[in-house]
């Protein structure tokens, strides 16, 4: 009987130790390294650290990301609540930086709000799981936060692994538009980068230009005419080039011998770029590209 009791006590102690080690490891894995400032328009957030991986999102110049890990040529980041990888060359890393990251929620039973970013600093307040704060910066692994009390706002620090972001950062340039259908459509279209160009193609095994736009828009409930000229003449509303928005269709003429008003079409993705099916497969091209700039024929807004 005593042996059984000793064994149970030993097993209980071992279980508690393993649990503590697991919690500690998880905390170490999720303490944030710093803030990243995007140094390019159209910087893609990818599912894995490879240019061949799926595009999850696209960031704009001076947008902020939370850096989770340094992965060689890539950073693992949180961008607008999506977790993925960005090419390090286009992200300016700062271990200490003020940034409006929006609202966050306490993710464990009890956390300390401290006066400085270290565990020995004065405790200003204890917060319970589910309580919310506004994150206004990051300092060597600690979120700088504003917390509202009956006396007003209190500014302090909470270790970054103890908070979960719940809001797209208001300071990001595409805050109000990022989650729109148009942006979702553009993000979705990037999943097909590299799909072969096939004349008359309308499926994921191969697209032509209008087959690609028709397929992508159809996934979001918008039915387009089959060919580029008909899409330009009969779908959506005319948009001036100076007023292009993410998700607009952009059209080009004389890309092959034809008298049609438009012979090629793509989807505007922001940053003066468009995604389209062309020779070499689905790809992204700049509107200022010598070939396309002189053939630009107009734009239409579908969404």
Active-site position among 4, 71, 108, 209: 209
Spatial CB neighbours of 258, under 8 Å, sequence gap ≥ 6: none
Closest C-alpha among 140, 69, 64 to residue 102: 64
Q: Which residues pair with residue 110 across a beta bridge? A: 128
CB atoms within 10 A of CB 157: 24
Active-site position among 4, 71, 108, 276: 276
CB atoms within 10 A of CB 105: 15
Active-site residue, 209 included = yes
CB atoms within 10 A of CB 63: 24
Active-site residue, 71 included = no
- CA–CA separation, 185 vs 99, rounded Å? 28
Spatial CB neighbours of 213, under 8 Å, sequence gap ≥ 6: 224, 231, 249, 265, 266, 267, 276
Spatial CB neighbours of 259, under 8 Å, sequence gap ≥ 6: none
Active-site position among 4, 71, 108, 264: 264
CB atoms within 10 A of CB 115: 13
Positions marked catalytic: 209, 264, 276
């Amino acid at each position: 009987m005593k042996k059984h009791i000793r064994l149970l006590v030993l097993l209980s102690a071992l279980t508690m130790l393993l649990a503590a080690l697991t919690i500690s490891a998880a905390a170490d894995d999720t303490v944030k390294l710093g803030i990243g400032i995007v140094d390019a328009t159209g910087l893609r957030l990818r599912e894995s650290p490879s240019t061949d991986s799926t595009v999850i999102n696209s960031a704009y110049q001076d947008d902020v990301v939370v850096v989770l890990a340094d992965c060689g040529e890539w950073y693992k980041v949180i961008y607008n609540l999506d977790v993925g990888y960005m090419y390090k060359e286009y992200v300016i890393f700062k271990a200490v930086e003020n940034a409006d990251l929006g609202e966050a929620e306490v993710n464990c039973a009890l956390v300390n709000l401290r006066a400085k970013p270290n565990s020995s600093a004065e405790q200003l307040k204890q917060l319970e799981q589910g309580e919310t704060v506004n994150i206004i910066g990051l300092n060597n692994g600690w979120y700088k936060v504003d917390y509202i009390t009956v006396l007003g706002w209190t500014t302090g620090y909470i270790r970054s692994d103890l908070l979960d972001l719940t809001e797209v950062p208001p300071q990001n340039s595409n805050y109000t538009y990022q989650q729109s259908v148009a942006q979702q459509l553009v993000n979705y279209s990037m999943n097909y980068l590299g799909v072969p160009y096939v004349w008359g193609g309308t499926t994921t095994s191969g697209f032509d230009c209008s087959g690609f736009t028709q397929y992508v828009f159809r996934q979001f409930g918008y039915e387009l005419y089959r060919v580029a000229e008909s899409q330009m003449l009969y779908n959506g509303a005319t948009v001036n080039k100076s007023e292009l928005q993410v998700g607009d269709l952009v059209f080009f003429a004389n890309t092959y011998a034809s008298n049609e008003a438009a012979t090629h079409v793509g989807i505007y993705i922001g940053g003066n770029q468009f995604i389209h099916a062309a020779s070499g497969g689905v790809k992204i091209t700049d509107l200022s590209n010598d070939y396309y700039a002189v053939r630009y024929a107009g734009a239409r807004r579908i969404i």
